[in-house]
Structure 1
Amino acid sequence: MIGFSRGEARPDPPRFRLLGALEVGEIERLGGPRQRAVLAALLLRANDTAGIGYLTRAAWDDPPMAPESNLRTYVAGLRKILRDERADLVTRNGGYSLVLDPDELDVARFEYLAGEGGRALQDEDFATADKHFRQALELWRGEPLEGQAIGSALQAEVGRLQDRRFAVIEQHCRANLELGNHASLVSELQSLVDEHPLREELSAQLMLALYRSNRRADALDVFRQTREVLVRELGIEPGPRLQSVQGEILGSHRTAAPAPPLGRHRRLPMDIADFTGRRDELWRLRRLVDEAVSGPVTVCVIEGMAGVGKTRLAIHAAHQLGSYEDIQLWADLRGFDSAQPPAEPSAVLGAFLHALGVPAEQLPHDLDERAALYRDRLAGARSLVLLDNAVSEEQVRPLLPGGPDSLVLVTTRCSLAGLDGAVMLGLDVFSEREAVELMARIVGPQRIAAEPDAAARIARLCGFLPLAVTLAARRLRARQSWLLADLADRLEGDRLDQLDLGDRGVRAVFELSYLALADDQRRLFRLLGLHPGDDFTAESVAALCGLTPASAESMLDALLDFYLLEQITPGRYHFHDLVRDFARDCLRSDESPAAQADSVQRLLAWFVASADAADRALQPSRHRVVLDVDAFHRQFDQDQAMRWFEAENDNLVRAVQVAADHGCHRHAWQLPSFLLSWFYRRRLWADWISTYTVGLASARRLADRTGEAMMLNGLGVAHSDLDQYVEAIACHQQALVIERAAGDRSGQAWNLNNLGVALGDLGRFDEAVDCFQQALVLHQDSHGKGLALSNLGDAYRALGRLDEALGQLRQALRLQRTSGDRAAQRYTRSCLGDVYVALGKPARAIEHYRQALAISRETGDRWQAAIVLARLADVLGDGDQAEACRQEAGMILAELRGGPKTQKLREQLGDLV
């Protein structure tokens, strides 16, 4: 479990415990279960980058649509805790890294001690092995993360740790058996066997300990009981190890007749001299081999995008697995070779059988007969078969041996999920550390040490793709006069050109995957190069390509299967950086400018219509822009709208600039107008100002005075929120001139309302009152009138005219209740709370603050929630409820992007974030 000791002294080092307990101070400081899951995930990836996908899978079984904001909140909370623990939690490309010394983390200490014990055991230094194994196992207290709410990634990590623990236990028992400590082992092993009756090695060791303690009958009884459990639970007989120990005890150990000798056949390509990283993957492969004692042939499929290093890993692992030294077969199945068709299984079997001593004249012609002969030749032999570049399950199946003593490694850049019984090992790009380490092996550590920042920059520009990093490092090795910064500058341009090496360059390997696609899949792939953001959904891609969402999703999944796309959050797809560059190359060469323009128009129309629909859910009473797009119809409720804006924010911001760049100026100002409510609730000032600035330029380019006034109004609100009041007032006044000339009463009303807010922030409350009174007259809908009354009441409060303030606010609340404008009540009730505080009626103030807080949460307005929580905390005083309000407000402010008002509220709350 993750436990948190209170009274006992904490060990130092290690301070961070995962093997039974995670000690980082008091439990209350660690927040909720999600935050604790994130901390556990960071600890398990200490000193390496824990990606957003991994952290998402660690904290949730069913993640939210856009988990990144939640993760930022948890990380912000952890940073303060970890600062007290003298640990650094840093942001890295694509995730976060918790920087620790090895001795600070008990998992790392456990692995170190277990490794030392394993080496001593191999050297037959059993006393030293016993010491190291004992120290490693003493680090365990209970089960990892017991009782915690954790996602699939941490569940897998817990399983890995438990398996590793048992492997060490078995090694420790072996060392003690070799030391002659038979009698002392019996009780410990008996307890382990009772708890884990299916682990045959523990039963075998218990039999040996009993037998060597002169308890022959008891030892044979263990075999009988274990056999009964295996037959009952799994339907299998005991494996060779248990049968061997039974035979030794009975004095009649029988071994099966050996298969006819085949001789040694080592056909693997040479090992990789500069192989780097992949420790976890190599460990998984070794564990897979260690666990494959009996049962069907062991098959591991190494999947990943082109250039990620699948073949390198498979070859290196094959050379490292010493138990398969006699028979090692290799074949390139040419699944993605542009010059030759994929290898036929029959031809590959012919080559294998010839290598295994079958004369050519004895080779069967039928595929099934060749496969049967192949399985027969390998029966009883420990063989390793490496099948490189497979393209389908049908190509692989005939090449699988039949016995339990064989290991098959398959590499592929497409999914082989239909291969029954295979273990899938997905290979991702390097971490930054691994990428820089690979560069150092090729270039030399001195050059890397001389320019560490430039080395990290090259790794990032290569997208941490092993092939790209290798090619970049080889360019540096060939150009001794270059600084690393010189290559980094070149990579800022056309990266694919800089990483070109003919048929072995990055572009060439991507092209092989591209050419393997169907025609419609290739078209969709290259059109994705037009998508403005980093990720996309089937709906946006359907609009881009003129497809139905179902057709788009089917083709996106095909690209996912070919590892040309990645997926972290269900339903959202994204490119690796270099693959996006390649898609844009294909777009320029294979898609006409007219077709590109049509696709951009469709996508922008979809963004505009969808943003309008989402904004309607947030502000149903708002005055609407009349759209000239009607091809897309969506409906959102309020929660769906907030989740959609959260997930699509970056795409929407970039789409505004894309619209302006492609001359779609009406879309360029309409789209920001639908983002105002979203920007306001999340205080996304940088995105707000950038999109409205682009929209203003486009409206002026069209001479669209309505659009110009709307952009000016939105800019005025943003500048006001940033305490930039000169700019805010100028924007509102310019908008008013346009709206008065056009007779736009609604536009004038909203600009006067927002101008009044800016004047009130400056302390010019008399002028603010005048603006709000004018707005109240001009507003023609209940939503606008209610907000004007609410703002007017707040201005009266600031002037000390409390009775008038109360009257205006009560009138606003009645109007909002009658019209069903619940969202607007969050402001009115907050202002009523402020008035009751001024009147010395804290109980009435708390009532209104609590209702304002509830509505702010309903509407997803985290900024308003933080304001109300701060005011509620002030009224509640210094008790637990007040502190809970301050803590929650602090967590919200840690997530929201900075600005003067945010900073002021932080200062009121204290140094909480």
Structure 2
Amino acid sequence: MEFRLLGSLEVRHDGENVMLGGQRQRTVLAALLMRPNSVASVSYLAQAVWEKPPVAPESNLRTYVAGLRRVLGGDRLVTRPGGYLVSIQPGELDLDDFRRFADDGDKAWQEGDFTSAVEHFERALCLWRGQPLSGLLPGPVLRADIARLEDQRLTIAERYAHALIELGKPDTAVGDLRALIVEYPLREELWAQLMLALHRAGRQAEALDAFASARQHLIDELGIEPGARLRRVQQEILAGEQADEPDEEISAWRQLPMDIAEFIGRHAELRTLHAMAEPSSRTALAIATIHGMPGVGKTRLAVHFAHQLVDAGRFDQIQLWADLRGFDAERPPIPPSAVLEHFLRLLGIAGPLIPQELESRAALFRSRLAEKRALILLDNAASEEQIRPLLPGTQGSLVLITSRRNLAGLVGARGLPLDVLPQPEAINLLSLIAGDDRIEAEPQAAARTSALCGHLPIALSLAARRLRKRPMWTVSDLAARLEREERRLDQLAPGTREIQALFTMSYQALPAEQQRMFRLLGLHPGDDFTAESAAALAGIHPDDADFHLEAMLDEHLVQQNTPRRYRFHDLVKPYARELAAGQSAHPLYTWYLHATEAARMAFDPLRTRAFGFPPLPRDTVLPQFADHKEALAWYESERATLRVVVQVAAENGLPEVAWRLAWVLLSFYYRRSHWDDWIDVYQIALKAAKASDERHGEGIIWCGLGVAYSDLQQFTNAIDAHQHAQTILEEVDDLKGQAWNLNNLGVVYVYLDRLTTAADCFHRALVLFPQTGDRQGEGIALNNLGDTYRRLDRPDSAIKHLEQALKIQQEIGDKSESGLQFTYGTLGDIHHDAGNYKQAARSYEEALAVSKALGDQRTSARMLANLAQTLNADGDPEQARLRWQEAMKIFDELGDPQADTIRAQLG
């Protein structure tokens, strides 16, 4: 059989086309053929076939695979654990041949064997019949594969043209390059090769005309000037034409690229740069570095600042500029020796007089600039080693450097980290480029659009140009198109890969192990991550993960807003996720379950579980917590991520992680009153448990929901939840779960003043707790029963049960758990009822001390309110008012409705 992907999908057998079925079935085959002889996971296939995969894609995929087996033969498609494999023999798949010829051509091209390179490249390009898989409607993963193939084809075409030019056949390259430029008018390297081919063919006028056409396309479509590569080719062509003109030496001293009219804002940064331009001493050289992530506007700021200096009369004689190509995806950084040769020629040194050794060239360069005031702009620097030979030796000059790295090892340099634009400047940039009043007419949509662009200047520029080209669109239309994260980069600049190319340059500069971590981090749930969670995702030690993250921070591929926590820029994350297509983050979800349990045990060690956890891989490192404060701080920092982990675990086939993690989070949610998270997470976990028929998990989650509803005083919902829980927990014979559920249901009845029913619940719980050996639960239930008897005006029974509770809690050392604070609080209530206000106040203060030590803000507030009531009754209204105000402040911070009750009481 013959399988063809490089065009419309075709399968031929004995010279005849094979009928492959419907659109989805054909797409499944295309996705499998993209990974021939390798297992394609169900997750990969789902994202390749559907824009938004169904909840359970496995059954659909089985149907499509069965259909393909009928037309291809049963031995072609093999079922493997977790996915499917298509078996392909050598010579059957055009993609395999294309990749083989391309690799052979690349190897020859890298070695300078241009004859062999041309031969291999020609064979690869002849296989191309149009856009890969044209006619299909692929999902995001398959679209990413197609885009990578198209990029590879264009790279081959560019190198094929370069090889032809080097072999002295530039005219042969011209036709193919012109045809490709019609398809890809914004691909600058195609224009560069066309210009070189025309120039080498003696067609200088056409070469310069090609530059003008390329520049016009870039300005019209993207609003940007040609990049350094095109400008350098133009300069080489012009230098070739003007080599004998006597004034070349003088004119070549002024090399600043043109400034742009669309520069906006950056006032604080410009002030900083002006200060940096002043030498720190009378003899020191001024060196300023601008570093930041791709697309943040480093070059624009540097060029604008340089023009400000020249306009002010500084450095008006010599301005040198070079693109050091530190982050070029196709070519290595320019060595400092080559940059020095270029600079020396511009400064009037004839070629035969330029020495060959790097040190000698650097010495001549320093000599040439001695006692001169030169501005040297070095763009896209790769490293300190690339920069050092290019520095003048005396004061009076300014070296201005841009880089994606911070270049902290460059002695004497002062650095300016460049961040994205503030929102007002971002919106102003949108308005300036869009060129009409649509931005001002929709301020909220404009703010949303700038946020979806991550306030990144290049993304803002592309979005505004797209709006300008669509006069019928509103700003809301543009924002709606950008909302879908997985397609956002495509929506910014359809038909180009400009932003992806910026990120690719930095990504490809990373070592292989850091590239792998970068890809995997695209799958990380939540907005930020740590070395520990990154290590769990990559299966490495946290120390290694920390090293890799710090390296990526230096490359500005990740950001750091708080110590030890990292995050992606909003546009970098979908790029990383695209690279990670087909990979799984399942080990990370299981790690979060175990890590969250480790934190819970630090402040709630007596609350045991009646179920196991999915195992972790060997040698996995979990966080360690010295005390409950560290554990609660970890919970707060991971709170948003933990919520997302429950969601993605439920959606990605790990319901056992989703409901177990929700159970673990109960202790944290209860202490810190994060009710919105609590309800949302438990609703997600409940759906996951139901969908997977996890009856035990369903019962446990219903119980936790009941506690949340009770805290929110939604008592009807609370009773309903606890009754659901009790039915299921009895069904699965979970005695401990039943005991806790009955205890919590009793608390609801106490709130409703249904005290006899509450007492019955506590008695039933107290029958079960001893059977399970849960003395902590027994102590809490005894306290609750004592409080119920207090409310029933049976103080003797109340005190008896409270003394039993206190004895148990003291025996088990319950100072690390919440039972003791409640028992002290109930004892305070009994003393208050009896008019023993001094003793009541002492009990409330003991409960308050335990609550504060536990970080339990809500119980602290309740004890403060009770203490205030007691102080007021004891004739101390001033101290009472202070305690009420303190309690009200905490309740307000928690969003607890009891704050309004106290506020009304205080008047």
Q: TM-score, normalised by structure 2?
A: 0.68
1:586 maps to what in 2?
579
* Secondary structure in 2 matching 1:430: coil
What is the CA–CA distance in structure 1 between the aligned matches of 2:768 and 2:474, rounded to whole Å?
66
Answer yes or no: is the 8 Å Cα contact 1:303–1:413 preserved in 2.
yes
1:512 maps to what in 2?
505
What is the CA–CA distance in structure 2 between the aligned matches of 1:343 and 1:558, rounded to whole Å?
22
Aligned CA RMSD, in angstroms, stands at 2.1
Identify the match of residue 301 of structure 1 among 284, 289, 294: 289
| AA at the equivalent of 1:559 | M
What is the CA–CA distance in structure 2 between the aligned matches of 1:777 and 1:263, rounded to whole Å?
97
Identify the match of residue 669 of structure 1 among 659, 678, 685: 659
What is the CA–CA distance in structure 2 between the aligned matches of 1:760 and 1:372, rounded to whole Å?
88
Deviation, structure 1 residue 755: 0.3
1:359 maps to what in 2?
350
| AA at the equivalent of 2:295 | G
Deviation, structure 1 residue 860: 1.3
What is the CA–CA distance in structure 2 between the aligned matches of 1:428 and 1:908, rounded to whole Å?
49
| AA at the equivalent of 2:887 | A
Question: What is the correspondence of 1:51-62 to structure 2 with a 5 Å cutoff?
Answer: none
Question: What is the correspondence of 1:213-612 to structure 2 with a 5 Å cutoff?
Answer: 265-290=253-278, 292=280, 294-321=282-309, 322=312, 323-444=314-435, 446-493=437-484, 494-500=487-493, 505-588=498-581, 593=582, 596-597=583-584, 600-612=585-597
1:232 maps to what in 2?
none
Go from structure 1 to structure 2 and tell me whether the alpha carbon gap of 1:272 and 1:566 turns closer, same or farther (over 3 Å shift).
Answer: same
Identify the match of residue 767 of structure 1 among 757, 763, 766: 757
What is the CA–CA distance in structure 2 between the aligned matches of 1:553 and 1:429, rounded to whole Å?
25
Q: What are the superposed Cα offsets for residues 596-617 of structure 1, whole Å, 9 maximum, x if unpaired?
A: 23xx221122111111222222
1:831 maps to what in 2?
826
Identify the match of residue 845 of structure 2 among 826, 832, 850: 850
What is the CA–CA distance in structure 1 between the aligned matches of 2:870 and 2:404, rounded to whole Å?
61
Answer yes or no: is the 8 Å Cα contact 1:853–1:865 preserved in 2.
yes
* Secondary structure in 2 matching 1:324: coil
What is the CA–CA distance in structure 2 between the aligned matches of 1:303 and 1:296, rounded to whole Å?
22
* Greater mean deviation of Cα atoms: 876-885 or 303-312: 876-885
Go from structure 1 to structure 2 and tell me whether the alpha carbon gap of 1:422 and 1:881 turns closer, same or farther (over 3 Å shift).
Answer: farther
Matched, 1:777 2:775: no
What is the CA–CA distance in structure 1 between the aligned matches of 2:746 and 2:366, rounded to whole Å?
85
* Secondary structure in 1 matching 2:558: coil
Identify the match of residue 629 of structure 1 among 615, 619, 622: 615
| AA at the equivalent of 1:438 | L
Question: What is the correspondence of 1:198-213 to structure 2 with a 5 Å cutoff?
Answer: none
* Secondary structure in 2 matching 1:532: coil
1:749 maps to what in 2?
739
| AA at the equivalent of 1:373 | L
What is the CA–CA distance in structure 2 between the aligned matches of 1:551 and 1:866, rounded to whole Å?
44
Deviation, structure 1 residue 511: 1.5
Deviation, structure 1 residue 670: 0.9
What is the CA–CA distance in structure 1 between the aligned matches of 2:303 and 2:587, rounded to whole Å?
47
| AA at the equivalent of 1:757 | V
Deviation, structure 1 residue 549: 1.2
Question: What is the correspondence of 1:644-659 to structure 2 with a 5 Å cutoff?
Answer: 644-659=634-649
What is the CA–CA distance in structure 2 between the aligned matches of 1:909 and 1:266, rounded to whole Å?
75
Deviation, structure 1 residue 729: 0.8
Answer yes or no: is the 8 Å Cα contact 1:292–1:404 preserved in 2.
no
| AA at the equivalent of 1:853 | L
Deviation, structure 1 residue 905: 5.4
Answer yes or no: is the 8 Å Cα contact 2:463–2:492 preserved in 1.
yes
Q: TM-score, normalised by structure 1?
A: 0.68
| AA at the equivalent of 1:718 | A
Identify the match of residue 797 of structure 2 among 804, 817, 820: 804
Answer yes or no: is the 8 Å Cα contact 1:890–1:909 preserved in 2.
no
* Secondary structure in 1 matching 2:459: helix
**Structure 1 unmatched ranges of 5 or more:** 1-260
What is the CA–CA distance in structure 1 between the aligned matches of 2:283 and 2:845, rounded to whole Å?
63
Go from structure 1 to structure 2 and tell me whether the alpha carbon gap of 1:504 and 1:313 turns closer, same or farther (over 3 Å shift).
Answer: farther
1:177 maps to what in 2?
none
What is the CA–CA distance in structure 2 between the aligned matches of 1:448 and 1:311, rounded to whole Å?
26
| AA at the equivalent of 1:279 | H
* Secondary structure in 2 matching 1:568: strand
Matched, 1:727 2:751: no
Deviation, structure 1 residue 292: 4.0
Matched, 1:614 2:599: yes
What is the CA–CA distance in structure 1 between the aligned matches of 2:892 and 2:393, rounded to whole Å?
58
What is the CA–CA distance in structure 1 between the aligned matches of 2:881 and 2:373, rounded to whole Å?
65
**Structure 2 unmatched ranges of 5 or more:** 1-248
What is the CA–CA distance in structure 1 between the aligned matches of 2:902 and 2:729, rounded to whole Å?
35
* Secondary structure in 2 matching 1:334: coil
Deviation, structure 1 residue 803: 3.6
Deviation, structure 1 residue 392: 0.7
1:865 maps to what in 2?
860
* Greater mean deviation of Cα atoms: 465-474 or 828-837: 828-837
Deviation, structure 1 residue 262: 8.3
Go from structure 1 to structure 2 and tell me whether the alpha carbon gap of 1:424 and 1:440 turns closer, same or farther (over 3 Å shift).
Answer: same
* Secondary structure in 1 matching 2:522: helix
Deviation, structure 1 residue 530: 1.2
What is the CA–CA distance in structure 1 between the aligned matches of 2:699 and 2:330, rounded to whole Å?
60
Answer yes or no: is the 8 Å Cα contact 1:363–1:370 preserved in 2.
yes
What is the CA–CA distance in structure 2 between the aligned matches of 1:328 and 1:452, rounded to whole Å?
41
Deviation, structure 1 residue 500: 2.4
| AA at the equivalent of 1:875 | T
Alignment length, in residue pairs? 641
Answer yes or no: is the 8 Å Cα contact 2:536–2:587 preserved in 1.
yes
1:643 maps to what in 2?
633
Go from structure 1 to structure 2 and tell me whether the alpha carbon gap of 1:882 and 1:276 turns closer, same or farther (over 3 Å shift).
Answer: farther
Question: What is the correspondence of 1:672-751 to structure 2 with a 5 Å cutoff?
Answer: 672-751=662-741
* Secondary structure in 2 matching 1:834: helix
- By relative contact order (CA 8 Å, sep 6+), the higher-ranking structure is 1
What is the CA–CA distance in structure 2 between the aligned matches of 1:834 and 1:669, rounded to whole Å?
37
Answer yes or no: is the 8 Å Cα contact 2:700–2:729 preserved in 1.
no
Go from structure 1 to structure 2 and tell me whether the alpha carbon gap of 1:607 and 1:908 turns closer, same or farther (over 3 Å shift).
Answer: farther
* Greater mean deviation of Cα atoms: 667-676 or 445-454: 445-454
Go from structure 1 to structure 2 and tell me whether the alpha carbon gap of 1:506 and 1:893 turns closer, same or farther (over 3 Å shift).
Answer: farther
